[in-house]
Amino acid sequence: MSDGVNGGEVSTGRVRTLGTPAVRTEALWKVYEHDGIRVEAVRDVSMTIQPGEFVVLAGPSGSGKTTLLNMLGGLTRPTDGGVWIDGTDISALSERELARLRLERLGFVFQAYNLLPVLTALENAEFTLLLRDVPADERREKVEKLFERIGMSGLEDRRPGKLSGGQQQRVAVARAVVGQPALVLADEPTANLDTATSSALIDLMAELNRDLGTTFVFATHDTRLLERARRVIRLVDGSIVGDDRRD
C-alpha cells in the first residue's frame, strides 16, 4: 500500500503546526453504482504527502488517479474514508466551507486551462486574489512579479484567445500559485502541449516547488513529468501498488 498515515497534530486554522502533512488520506474509497453495476474507482487509499513534496499520481487510464486528485481537492466527495488538507478534515466540511478552503488553501491547474475568455491574462491570474478581497494594487503587483518570473511580462493585457497553449497554461499556473496555497493539484497539465512547451512548464513548476516550497500533486502519464517527480505513487484499478521516493 502506501507509506502509512502520519499522525501529526491537526491544525484548525491556516497556520500549519509542526509535522502537519499537506495531504493525508485514510482508507479512502470512491464507489459508483449505476443500473446494478458497481465501479470502485478508488479503493482503500491511505497516504501522506508532506509540505514541499513534488508528487505524481501515475497509472493507466481508469486507474483512479484523476478521481483521487478530485477528492483531494474536495471536487468529489468520497464514499468512505477521510481526506485532510493542511490539517483540516475536508470530508466533514459543508459545501460553503469546502469552497472557502479551496479558495484559501488550494490551487488547481487543469488540462483545459479553464481561463475566463473575457478577462485578460493578468485578470485571470489575479482572480483568486480578487475573490479573497485583496486590494487591486496589491493584486497587480503580485501578478506582475510572478509574470516576470514565468516569462509572461508584456502579455498582461492579452485575452486567452490571443495566447498560445503554453502561455495559457502558464497563466493557469500563475493563478494557481499566486495566492501561495498550501497545495497545488494539477490534472494532466501538459497533455495539450508540445514537447518544448511541456518541458518548459515542468521546469517552471519544479522551480516554484523548489524556490517557494509549494507542494505539487499531479495526475499524469507524461513520462517527462514522471522523470522529474521526486515521488511517484502508482495506482492500478483504484489501489496504490507502488510508492517510489527519489529524494
Distance CA(231)–CA(239), nearest Å, equals: 17
127-183: pLDDT as tens digits: 999 999 999 999 999 999 989 888 899 999 999 999 998 899 889 989 998 988 889
Work out the end-to-end distance of the chain between its first and last CA atoms, rounded to an integer number of angstroms: 19
- What percent of the chain lies above the pLDDT cut of 90? 64
The fold of the 51-77+93-245 domain, in CATH, is Rossmann fold (3.40.50)
DSSP-assigned letters across all residues of the chain: --S----PPPPSSSSPPTT--SEEEEEEEEEEEETTEEEEEEEEEEEEE-TT-EEEEE-STTSSHHHHHHHHTTSS--SEEEEEETTEEGGG--HHHHHHHHHHHEEEE-TT----TTS-HHHHHTHHHHHTT--HHHHHHHHHHHHHHTT-TT-TT--GGGS-HHHHHHHHHHHHHTT--SEEEEESTTTTS-HHHHHHHHHHHHHHHHHH--EEEEE---HHHHHH-SEEEEEETTEEEEEEE--
- Domain ranges within the chain, ordered by starting residue: 51-77+93-245
What cell numbers appear for 203 in the block?
Answer: 521546469
Question: Predicted confidence band at 8 (pLDDT cuts at 50, 70, 90)?
Answer: very low
Question: Predicted confidence band at 34 (pLDDT cuts at 50, 70, 90)?
Answer: confident
Nearest CA to 180 out of 104, 111, 126, 121 is that of: 104
**pLDDT for 247:** 66
Distance CA(179)–CA(40), nearest Å, equals: 35
Task: Write down the pTM of the prediction.
Answer: 0.84
Nearest CA to 152 out of 131, 181, 172 is that of: 172
**pLDDT for 89:** 94
**pLDDT for 6:** 37
123-133: pLDDT as tens digits: 999 999 999 99
Find the range with the poorest average confidence among 76-80, 90-94, 139-143, 200-204.
200-204
Answer whether residue 35 shows pLDDT above 50. yes
**pLDDT for 13:** 36
